[in-house]
Structure formats: C-alpha cells, structure tokens
C-alpha cells in the first residue's frame, strides 16, 4: 500500500499546488481537520501535514497508529502539543524556512511603514487633507544609518539582516545561540546582550519562537529601556510582547511606535486599543503566507515525508524534540 500523506485543508494553502508537486507513489488526502473524511483517513496516515493544532493530542496520536511525522507548513509551532508528540514518539518539523523571505520582507515593510508613517500619509490623501492639518509637526525617518536590533538570528533574522544591510542600516543581534565571528562578518552583524539591544537600537525587530522563556520577554521593563524615538516590530508571535505593556508604552510616549503582524489574541477583539493608535501599523498575521512560497512550503513538507519513508531522519525537527 502506498504511504499516505494526510494534509489539513486550510485557506492559507493552495491545494492545487500541493497536488501538483505531491510525490509520485504516495497517496495525498486533503481534508478539513476533524471532518469525516479526515477522521476516515487518519488511521491509515503515515504523515500529517498542516498547521499546529492543540487537538493533535495524545488521543489523536492513539488514533493514528501508522503516523511517523507531523510536518508543519509554518515556521512557528506554539500551537503544537509538544508533550503529546514526545509521548507518541512522533517528530514535529517546521517548514524549513520556506516563508523566511516573505517574513523578512514584511519586517522591513513594517519598519518603513512606521518610520515614514505610511498609513497616516494614505489616510491624509484619501480624506482630502493632503499633508494633514499641520505638516510642520510631522517627522518622517529614513532607515539608512539607523541601528537595527534583531532579537533572534535564525533563518528569518539572517535574511532581515541582509536586507537591512542593503538599506545601509547598522545591524546588531541577540540570540541564545550565537553565530561564529566569521558568520557575523559575512552577515555584517554584531552580537549584543538583550539589554544593550534595547537601549541602543532605533528599531527592535523580533524573530524568536514562542516558548515559555520568550513569552512576554518584551514587557514594561524591556520597553522602558528603549529610546523614546525607537520603534518595535513584531512578526514572530504576539505573546512574545506583553501587549498591555506595549499599549501603555505607545500611549505614554515611552517608544515612538510599533509595526505588528501578530497579537496576543488572534483575531484581536474589536475594542483593542491598538486599533485607534496613530503610531502603529497593523497587519493580520500575514507576513508568512505569500503566493510565491506556496510551492516551497509543500516542497519542504513532501521532501521530509519522503526522507522518513526512506528510513532517514527528518529535517527541521523543532528544538524541543531534538
């Protein structure tokens, strides 16, 4: 019997692309998670492909006795039940950086949008106010010569560094896993402690996974270290930032502004104070999924399925299960 890949249907996934590049010799079943078709296919599934879901728990694995791999289409894995996967002996792998270009470009976009007050400019034009009510009070900033502090230097952080270098920014980073001096030279980045990053950066950009250690790592104390002229950009996971502390910091002028693709609660409630703040730019957790990286995400996923089918170790196993 051909190995079976069971893929969760999702509005973020282009199913025709997945079917087009699915490995020959493997059966690809695509169904909404929890649907009758999904449940029917699960006992015979060798590989599970999709996004993290807390319902993939110990009971789920018990109902999938043939399962050998849980392959994510995302970089983040905070919605994965890691203990259940460990108990079942199932490796969980992320997408191998398939969306790293998209997220790094999005981070740069948020930096530019906040520094140049893009949303305010757009709203001024369409409302007939042209340059606002008081053009002399508006301050717009360039990226060139600004100090960029990257918190996290994984696949995405490294690509942000390269893009920032092209804009003439001065890049420094903090990560619990330091890179070699040779790689620092190649990326034109320098290591700094987190408190140094916060105190000296004009823009702080976050690129860490959500773990117990990183939850609310940017809170009131961290925000108070930042320059009053500094901007915070978050394209990783919302709870890395204490959102209430950030709202207070933005409202009180502790920092100049923020560009956010992620939130504590997603979608955020309609009364979220961030919606009315003039010094923020918000996007709907859309940094990763682009039309361009659909093939790359499926290609990495199916390659890992083939590796495991051949008896090889999968790539990109999340750190907690290595």
- Provide the CB-side half-sphere exposure for 191 (13 A, CA): 11
Strand order in the sheet with 69-72: 27-31, 4-8, 47-50, 69-72, 92-93
Closest CA relative to residue 41, chosen from 74, 10, 3? 3
Closest CA relative to residue 17, chosen from 34, 30, 2? 30
3-state secondary structure of 244: helix
| Catalytic site includes residue 122 | no
Cα separation of 221 and 234, whole Å? 17
Closest CA relative to residue 283, chosen from 132, 103, 154? 103
Q: Which of 184, 237, 243, 297 is catalytic?
A: 237
| Catalytic site includes residue 285 | yes
300: Cβ contacts below 8 Å, ≥ 6 apart: 95, 96, 98, 315, 316
| Catalytic site includes residue 266 | yes
How many other C-beta atoms lie within 10 A of the C-beta of residue 35? Answer: 12
Q: Which of 266, 299, 312, 320 is catalytic?
A: 266
Note whether 284 and 59 are within 8 A (CB).
no
Q: Give the total residue count for the chain.
A: 322
Q: Which of 285, 299, 307, 320 is catalytic?
A: 285
Closest CA relative to residue 304, chosen from 293, 316, 292, 295? 316
Strand 47-50 relative to strand 4-8, pairing: parallel
Catalytic residues: 237, 266, 285
């Amino acid at each position: 019997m051909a190995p079976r890949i069971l893929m969760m249907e999702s509005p973020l996934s282009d199913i025709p692309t997945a079917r087009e590049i699915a490995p020959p010799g493997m059966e690809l079943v695509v169904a909404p998670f929890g649907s009758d078709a999904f449940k029917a296919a699960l006992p015979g599934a060798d590989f599970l492909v999709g996004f993290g879901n807390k319902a993939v728990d110990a009971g789920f694995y018990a109902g999938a006795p043939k399962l050998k791999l849980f392959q994510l289409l995302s970089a983040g894995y905070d919605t994965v039940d890691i203990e259940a996967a460990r108990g079942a002996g199932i490796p969980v792998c992320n997408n191998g950086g398939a969306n790293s270009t998209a997220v790094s470009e999005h981070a740069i976009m948020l930096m530019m949008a906040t520094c140049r007050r893009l949303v305010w400019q757009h709203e001024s034009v369409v409302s007939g106010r042209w340059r606002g009510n008081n053009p002399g009070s508006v301050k717009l900033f360039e990226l060139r010569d600004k100090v960029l502090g990257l918190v996290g230097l994984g696949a995405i952080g490294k690509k942000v560094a390269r893009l920032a270098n092209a804009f003439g920014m001065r890049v420094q980073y903090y990560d619990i896993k330091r890179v070699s001096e040779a790689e620092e030279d190649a990326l034109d980045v320098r290591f700094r402690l987190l408190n140094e990053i916060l105190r000296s950066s004009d823009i702080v950009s976050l690129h860490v996974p959500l773990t117990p250690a990183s939850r609310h790592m940017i809170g009131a104390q961290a925000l108070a270290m930042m320059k009053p002229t500094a901007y915070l950009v978050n394209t990783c996971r919302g709870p890395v930032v204490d959102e209430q502390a950030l709202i207070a910091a933005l409202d009180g002028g502790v920092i100049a502004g923020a560009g956010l693709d992620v939130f504590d609660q997603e979608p955020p409630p309609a009364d979220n104070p961030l919606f009315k703040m003039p010094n923020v730019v918000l996007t709907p957790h859309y940094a990763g999924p682009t039309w361009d990286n659909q093939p790359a995400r499926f290609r990495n996923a199916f390659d890992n399925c083939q590796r495991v089918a051949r008896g090889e170790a999968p790539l990109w196993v999340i750190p907690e299960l290595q």
